[in-house]
Amino acid sequence: MLSDVVVPARAPWSAVIPAGRSLTITDLGGNQAVDCLVYDAHDTAVRYSAPDTIQAQGGIYLSTGSVLMSNEHTPLMTVVADDCGRHDTLGGACSKESNTLRYGHHTWSQHACVDNFLAEGARHGLGKRDLVSNINWFMNVPVEADGTLGIVDGRSAPGLSVTLRAETDVLVLVSNCPQINNPCNGFDPTPVRMTVR
């Protein structure tokens, strides 16, 4: 095992994971959204692309067998085990700014994922331009027939996990989502475990 840490509720986390190694994300409290970006560790201009991932697998949900593709359509990581069964590619991250639109300006002083990404990304030389549509592990975002889309109650539970194998050396950036205004965390952010093997 290379590392095994519990990321507190609302906190960021990052690690470089060598090719062939794996990351297991465990939803300790259940129903906790884990916002995640992946970069080529040697060239961060090459990064997770939600559209390329969706193109490659012909669908919007991630589960076992899904390959996280880069913006150059190369594989970054593969989902090799998944207890939850469905993870989101469309919803992106919460931000102080988008929270003002989604809920109202009273949310301005609350924590948000984009701030976690910016703070943790800065440790690796990443900035605002490096943030793109991210994965939300354990978050449930259905799209209805008329296109109505939204974050609804999660399908996860305490102890469920997802495991990703690095297909190349990758930098993984995570925000353990602080959102308290919608069901993505059951309105109660909880810790998650990050295990790199």
What is the contact surface with another protein in residues (CB under 8 A)?
44-45, 49-52, 54-55, 58-61, 71-74, 86, 90-93, 95, 97-102, 104-105, 114, 128-134, 141-151
| Cβ nearer to another protein, comparing 21 with 102 | 102
β partners of residue 65: none
Instruction: Tell the smallest beta-carbon distance from residue 128 to another protein (Å).
Output: 5
Q: Which is nearer to another protein, 119 or 149 (CB)?
A: 149
Q: Which is nearer to another protein, 71 or 190 (CB)?
A: 71
**Bridging pattern class, strands 34-40 and 170-176:** antiparallel
Distance in Å, CB of 70 to another protein, minimum:
9
178 close to 7: Cβ distance less than 8 angstroms: no
For the bound state, the minimum distance from the C-beta of residue 115 to another protein, rounded and expressed in Å, comes to: 12
Q: Which tokens is 78 given?
A: 């593969």
**Can you give the length of the chain in residues?**
197
| CA dist., res. 17 & res. 196, Å (int) | 7
**Tokens 């194998």 sit at which residue?**
165
